[in-house]
Amino acid sequence: WARLRRRLSTSNNALARALADLLSVDKIDADVWDDFETTLITSDLGVGPATELTEALRKRLAVDGVADPVKAKEILTEELLRLVDPSLDRSLNLTPANDGDPAVVLVVGVNGTGKTTTVGKLARVLVAEDKSVVLGAADTFRAAAAEQLATWGERVGVETVRSDVDGADPASVAFDAVAKGVEDGVDVVIVDTAGRLHTKTGLMDELGKVKRVIEKKAPVNEVLLVLDATTGQNGMTQARIFAEVVDVTGIVLTKLDGSAKGGIVVQVQRELGVPVKLVGLGEGVDDLAPFDPEGFVQGILG
Ligand code: GDP
């Protein structure tokens, strides 16, 4: 986080700017608080949390003049941290339900959000922890997806199970990957899926079937929903749809390095009741990190 926080703070400082603006005025009046709240909303914090944060700051600063900048930042840090909720369990559950089975991680989300990249980076993290990993290329819809995943597999030194046939049944590839994981006695199987939001029923049928078929071999431990932080409210809409069709257990927020909209962390956790577990902070192999609430808040406040 120390290394990645720098990257976060250079691009993702809408809240820091809001605070700086707030403190730069001669007198903090109702209009100034209004502008502050608006900035929070545009940083994708969500209307509810933005209002809460503004109210908390307004109350705690209790100013009718100029606020002490140091104290103001301290209070904003505390209140923002409270919204991000450091008490949530953000660890990945990688304990297999049955002895000898691999843990199965299903990675879902709309194409282009960074799903395949996340699968590759996650494999890298697990390999670094001495875990054995198999990847499953169940995104059979996009022609280049399996190739891209296999390239990641080679890069991090793990095997990728894929189909030779274009447009193969995603559930069948997912099954083969988990079967391979069971056969080889690996620790974790990570399955990449297609994220076509053509229709909700289509998505539901496809993901439902993938999960059902996998569970003939081994239970699914985690369903990670990948969201692109730069897409803001669009991302929220996607998140709601996915949460309706599959039991999401954790969020991976990608492209936080290029987003001024970090507030989405708060909004997505609140609405879905699911913690942000991992964040993508770049395109490189080592740019995936566990979500650290304190580091995140410090990063976005600059
Ligand atoms: P998929 O279609 O969801 O599997 O998306 P990909 O994994 O192919 O990623 C789409 C693009 O986003 C690629 O160019 C990735 O390099 C890029 N990407 C993924 N994660 C991140 C991230 O955390 N930060 C940045 N800056 N780019 C990312």
ipTM: 0.98
In ligand 1, which atom is closest to the CA atom of 288?
23
Answer yes or no: are the C-beta atoms of 102 and 186 closer than 8 Å: yes
107 to 57, 64, 89, 143, 195: CA distances (angstroms): 38, 50, 19, 18, 10
pLDDT at residue number 72: 79
Neighbours of 155 (CB within 10 A): 12
pLDDT at residue number 194: 86
Asked whether the CA dihedral 293, 297, 300, 302 is positive or negative, the reply is: negative
For the Cβ of 115 lying below 6 angstroms from any atom of ligand 1, the answer is yes
As a whole number of angstroms, the distance between CA 52 and CA 223 comes to: 30
pLDDT at residue number 226: 96
Q: What phi-psi label fits residue 82: left (phi over 0), alpha (psi between -120 and 50 degrees) or beta?
A: alpha
Model's pTM, two decimal places?
0.91
For the Cβ of 13 lying below 6 angstroms from any atom of ligand 1, the answer is no
Q: Ligand 1 test: best mutation among 225, 226, 283, most atoms within 8 Å of CB?
A: 283
Q: What is the pLDDT along the chain (302 residues), one digit of tens a residue?
A: 665 566 665 545 667 777 777 778 778 888 888 988 888 887 777 888 889 989 988 888 876 556 677 777 888 889 889 999 999 999 999 999 888 899 999 999 998 999 999 999 999 999 999 999 999 999 988 878 999 999 999 999 999 999 988 778 999 999 999 999 999 999 999 999 988 766 767 777 888 899 999 999 999 999 999 999 888 888 888 899 889 888 999 999 999 887 666 778 888 999 999 999 999 988 999 999 999 999 888 877 76
List the residue whose alpha carbon is closest to atom 12 of ligand 1: 114
Sheet holding 276-280, edge to edge: 159-161, 133-138, 188-193, 103-108, 220-228, 250-254, 276-280, 288-290
Hey, what are 116's tokens?
A: 């395949």
As a whole number of angstroms, the distance between CA 224 and CA 109 comes to: 8
pLDDT in tens, 76-103: 889 889 999 999 999 999 999 888 899 9
List the residue whose alpha carbon is closest to atom 9 of ligand 1: 114
pLDDT at residue number 251: 97
Phi first, then psi: what are they for 300, rounded to 5°? -80, -20
| Axis crossing angle, helix 69-84 with helix 264-272, rounded to the nearest 10 | 30
Q: Ligand 1 test: best mutation among 117, 191, 251, most atoms within 8 Å of CB?
A: 117
As a whole number of angstroms, the distance between CA 91 and CA 2 comes to: 19
